[in-house]
Structure 1
Amino acid sequence: MRRFVIAVDVGTASVRAGLFDSDGYMKARSVHPLDLARASARRGEYASQNIWQAVATTVRAVRAEAKTDVTDIAAIAFGATCSLVFQPAEAAPASLSRPGFDTIAWFDHRASSEAFECTATGHDLLSHIGDVMSPEMQIPKLMWARRNRPDLLSKGGNVFDLADFLTFRATGSARRSISTLASKWTYRPETPSGWASDFLKTVGLKDLPERDGLDRPPLAVGSPAGTLTAQAACDLGLDQTVIVAPGMVDAYAGALGVLPPPEPGKPSPLALIGGTSSCLVGQSAVPCHGKSLWGPFFSALYDGAYLVEAGQSATGGLLNHLLEASSAGGTASEALHDRVIARIAALRATEGDSFAAGIDILPDFHGNRSPFADPAMTGMIAGLTLDRSFDGLCRLYFRALVAIALGLKQVINVMAEAGLATDTLFLAGGHARNPLLREIYPDVTGRKLVLAREKDAVLLGSAINAASAAGLHPGLKAAAAAMQASEMTVTPDPVRSRLYERDMQRLLILQACQAQLRTI
């Protein structure tokens, strides 16, 4: 009997794969790095072939580690960042700034002016993306391509969200997932046609819905997208009987790994998926709108429910940046993070609440996604000295953690104003492995923090998607109920929470200061 599933998560810097049983226990895990070309701090590109090879490497590795036979694998599912893959009609791969690099990274802001143009249309659909189009969404990037690289959108070619591209490589079918289309492509599944043709015409993309796969209704999460092609089965070391689930936005896979389906009349907890960036995901039985909130997206996770997303563009990425920018730091490896965290614990034990006092950070080093929806915002640090020591780096790192949590509190407040108030956060992603964040998040936000049994909840969410598609459980909700599990809950410390109230006042001053500086 086929009783295992494989989950794949393509992140910013690496691919992870996990092999799970139908109860949600991960039996094996593998990680492989990605080649990322960065022409500048605001541009990034991948090679889709390199991504697929990394996927194949990790999938083969987890099956080998778990010592499972090919005939034990029921299904596979992919979660990925919202990067944009160009597939030309000709056999040769498309190339952006480097040969073979055919994928614009999710964090790439080259289409900022196009995003501004979208916002300036004032179209009704903007109310479903927080009233402001982000350059991290796909429509502005497609506008940029049409104007600057029309060859990338040649007739007969195609363009995919990365999660959909992986499903396409696996099955040969270009049909898309509702998870990606509803959230990043302005597709509205609750409307008769899905696409806002007048908006697409205004921004020069009226032919977009005619492309293969975009001309059909998207697939629901937890449904089968097809089975592996002979080539994909060969690449992945599996067989053609393996079912492929529709791809998912990585943050939504993380939400699926921890969030139960919403219940009418009951407040839904929020999922905080923290990695290079942070996404806060909530659900509701009714649509909820708010400035800087992405959504409501109908059926983007659970069928019939509305999903709302907010976030911070650089959180783990900010921590990595601080480590690598300091002469006392180095490559932002897991070992270096652990070393800094351990030293912070020792310094706090000695210095108490005065540790790192006087340093204040505005964490928007890559723009502000929420609550201001302003990609032009930048980071600020107040209180710097000539200290270049390792301990000085530790103080900056700690205050960056606090700043990230303060920004998160602002995001939570915006979601509450939109009707998504909660006293509980489910933490998923790499941040769940940081003991300082597990302490600081509840203390700063005043919310309980629930940690899942499975620390890699993004992989678990894709495993739930795969298990549902394979029929190992009778539907997505049943699969989630069987495979999700919580391990512990962290409650806010009232004494520390009061101390952080002063830090919030200082953050507000920094935000006001930057706003004033930008007017001069």
Structure 2
Amino acid sequence: FDEKGKLLGSASSPIQIWKEKDCIEQSSTDIWLAVCTAVKSACSLANVAAEDVAGLGFAATCSLVAVDADGSPVSVSWSADARRNIIVWMDHRAVDQADRINARNSPVLQYCGGGVSPEMQAPKLLWVKENLQESWSMACRWMDLSDWLAYRATGDDTRSLCTTVCKWTYLGHAHMGQWRELDSRDMEACGWDEVFWEEIGLGDLVEGNRAKIGRSVAFPGHALGSGLTPTSAKELGLLPGTPVGTSLIDAHAGGVGVMESVPEAESKADLSDEEAICRRMVLVCGTSTCHMAVSKNKLFIPGVWGPFWSAMIPEYWLTEGGQSATGALLDYIVENHAAAPLLANHAASQSVSIFELLNKILLSMAHEQNIPFLSALSQDTHVLPDFHGNRSPVADPKSKGVICGLTLDTSEKYLALLYLATIQGIAYGTRHIVEHCNAHGHKVLIFDQGFQRVTRYMIGCL
């Protein structure tokens, strides 16, 4: 990007992933190589020389990385494969550990919706300690992926306030000397509640001034160390000393930009900047969907993560809802249907995506049946989208999905109906989150209550 925010070039590079039942793993070495390839390609496409790069930052999923004292990967896999040193955010191996942590009812849990999720780091860490003792002994640093990328680039182990607050139970308001509650514990000016870690059986992580999980925590964008090290600069095709900012979680990085947008309807509502930013909800969609809203006052919402202080917008409290499987669910529904291979061939022959073709099929079906309300096509087919648990607001990782109304039809048209019903199920899940947040103090403005138009909008986005 240039200094005005114009995109000059972008590139991507594929990465590996291993999936075995509830265990989903990646390789930090593989990801770093992919990052280096993508950065070089993006600079080349943008025709930008290394000396023209003013700075860079990293955003990544909130996956857990394990490395030893030399920075080499430490396996977190039953396979003992050293490459597999990342427990991916959506990995659900630590459901039992999360239940046991939540049963203790520690005061810090009120700052993550009332309980930790198996998608967070404390349960995953406890799982490794209980199941992979050799790896537990070898690991010198446990890091969020975006923090590890920044560390790999600079050699500076400073962690992000975003990652630590949202995924590690770090108390950002305590970090800034605003601590005023949580019983009578002596928290000092630090956001780590060491009693919590000791209570859940991970007291060894806070030994040595919390060296394994983060001695230093800074706001996102804080300049790290002396910038790129000579080694990482060479690997990235950039110059040593190029500034690197403290990281953000991927969805939250998107949230920062979206929060700055001003919808036309909102601009007519005559709100101050502070009021307006507190009336918005950001949806960042991919494999899962994050629903993020901010407030000046902390709001405790059962089953919804947060309130997280300054985790996305400085000095605002973040509420983070979410659906654990959205894009992943659509892929699953489409790819596992009997008509999927034929659909893929037809899409390729027309040089369109599978989703564009499904949209065309739905519009054609609505026209054939003389149905002006497209969503009515799926009136006999319903999907409960909790195929990977319910992140919010039910907050049940053991929840299961349901498809009601299945027939023996194997046609492309019936696949299109399943696709539509899945989108509707996802949309209803979002509606549930928005209404639940508003019932507990948020005031998210909803300008379009028409479910038909919401569904069409989601299809258009896809």
Please give the range of the TM-score, normalised by the shorter of the 2 chains: 0.7 to 0.9
Question: Partner of 2:74 in structure 1?
Answer: 94
Question: Partner of 2:242 in structure 1?
Answer: 242
Does residue 230 of structure 1 match 2:230?
yes
Matches within 5 A, 1:65-464: 65-89=45-69, 93-95=73-75, 96=77, 97=79, 98-154=81-137, 157-191=140-174, 192-209=189-206, 210-212=209-211, 214-226=213-225, 227-260=227-260, 264=274, 267-330=278-341, 335-351=353-369, 352=371, 353=373, 354-423=376-445, 447-448=446-447
- Which stretch of structure 1 is more off in the superposition, 394-403 or 94-103? 94-103
Cα 1:287–1:92 change in 2 (3 A) is: closer
Q: Which amino acid aligns with 1:175?
A: T
Q: Is the 8 A contact 1:88 1:152 kept in 2?
A: no
Name which of 13, 17, 35 aligns with 1:32. 13
Q: Is the 8 A contact 1:87 1:152 kept in 2?
A: no
Q: Structure 1: 5+ residue runs without aligned partners?
A: 1-19, 424-446, 449-490, 500-520
Q: Which amino acid aligns with 1:143?
A: L
* Greater strand content: 1
Question: Partner of 1:429 in structure 2?
Answer: none
Cα 1:358–1:202 change in 2 (3 A) is: same
The one-character-per-residue Cα deviations of 1:58-113 (angstroms, maximum 9, x if unpaired) are 11110000111111111111111111001023575322233411100100000000
SS at match of 2:203: coil
SS at match of 1:240: coil
- The offset of 1:187, in angstroms, is 0.5
Does residue 50 of structure 1 match 2:30?
yes
Cα 1:316–1:327 change in 2 (3 A) is: same
SS at match of 1:57: helix
The one-character-per-residue Cα deviations of 1:393-444 (angstroms, maximum 9, x if unpaired) are 1110011001100010000011112221211xxxxxxxxxxxxxxxxxxxxx
Question: Partner of 2:177 in structure 1?
Answer: none
SS at match of 1:106: coil
SS at match of 1:93: coil
- The offset of 1:265, in angstroms, is 5.1
Cα 1:379–1:225 change in 2 (3 A) is: same
Cα 1:383–1:215 change in 2 (3 A) is: closer
Q: Which amino acid aligns with 2:241?
A: T
SS at match of 2:314: coil
* Aligned-CA RMSD value: 2.3
Q: Is the 8 A contact 2:427 2:455 kept in 1?
A: no
- The offset of 1:119, in angstroms, is 0.8
**What CA distance in whole angstroms lies between the structure 1 residues aligned with 2:290 and 2:336?**
25
**What CA distance in whole angstroms lies between the structure 2 residues aligned with 1:179 and 1:257?**
15
**What CA distance in whole angstroms lies between the structure 2 residues aligned with 1:49 and 1:128?**
33
Compare relative contact order (CA 8 Å, sep 6+) and give the higher one, 1 or 2. 1
**What CA distance in whole angstroms lies between the structure 1 residues aligned with 2:455 and 2:192?**
48
- The offset of 1:247, in angstroms, is 1.1
- The offset of 1:336, in angstroms, is 2.1
Cα 1:203–1:63 change in 2 (3 A) is: same
SS at match of 1:63: helix
Identical-residue share of aligned pairs (%): 34
The one-character-per-residue Cα deviations of 1:338-369 (angstroms, maximum 9, x if unpaired) are 32233223223333234222001100000001
Q: TM-score, normalised by structure 2?
A: 0.85
**What CA distance in whole angstroms lies between the structure 2 residues aligned with 1:397 and 1:33?**
26
Cα 1:350–1:421 change in 2 (3 A) is: farther
Q: Is the 8 A contact 1:158 1:211 kept in 2?
A: no
Cα 1:93–1:221 change in 2 (3 A) is: closer
Cα 1:496–1:67 change in 2 (3 A) is: closer
Q: How many pairs were matched up?
A: 414
**What CA distance in whole angstroms lies between the structure 2 residues aligned with 1:55 and 1:66?**
16
**What CA distance in whole angstroms lies between the structure 2 residues aligned with 1:376 and 1:421?**
30
SS at match of 2:55: strand
The one-character-per-residue Cα deviations of 1:119-171 (angstroms, maximum 9, x if unpaired) are 10111111111112200000000000111112323266111100000001110
Q: Which amino acid aligns with 2:52?
A: D
- The offset of 1:286, in angstroms, is 1.0
Question: Partner of 2:264 in structure 1?
Answer: none
Cα 1:263–1:218 change in 2 (3 A) is: farther
Q: Structure 2: 5+ residue runs without aligned partners?
A: 175-188, 262-271, 457-462
The one-character-per-residue Cα deviations of 1:361-405 (angstroms, maximum 9, x if unpaired) are 100000001110000101001100001111111110011001100
Q: Is the 8 A contact 2:74 2:139 kept in 1?
A: no
- The offset of 1:314, in angstroms, is 0.3
**What CA distance in whole angstroms lies between the structure 2 residues aligned with 1:91 and 1:168?**
10
SS at match of 2:10: strand
- The offset of 1:498, in angstroms, is 12
The one-character-per-residue Cα deviations of 1:221-251 (angstroms, maximum 9, x if unpaired) are 2221230011111111111131111111111
**What CA distance in whole angstroms lies between the structure 1 residues aligned with 2:91 and 2:454?**
35
**What CA distance in whole angstroms lies between the structure 1 residues aligned with 2:451 and 2:199?**
52
**What CA distance in whole angstroms lies between the structure 1 residues aligned with 2:242 and 2:103?**
46
SS at match of 2:218: coil
Name which of 22, 30, 33 aligns with 2:3. 22
- The offset of 1:492, in angstroms, is 4.7
Cα 1:245–1:92 change in 2 (3 A) is: closer
Q: Which amino acid aligns with 1:142?
A: L
The one-character-per-residue Cα deviations of 1:450-492 (angstroms, maximum 9, x if unpaired) are xxxxxxxxxxxxxxxxxxxxxxxxxxxxxxxxxxxxxxxxx45
Cα 1:234–1:349 change in 2 (3 A) is: farther
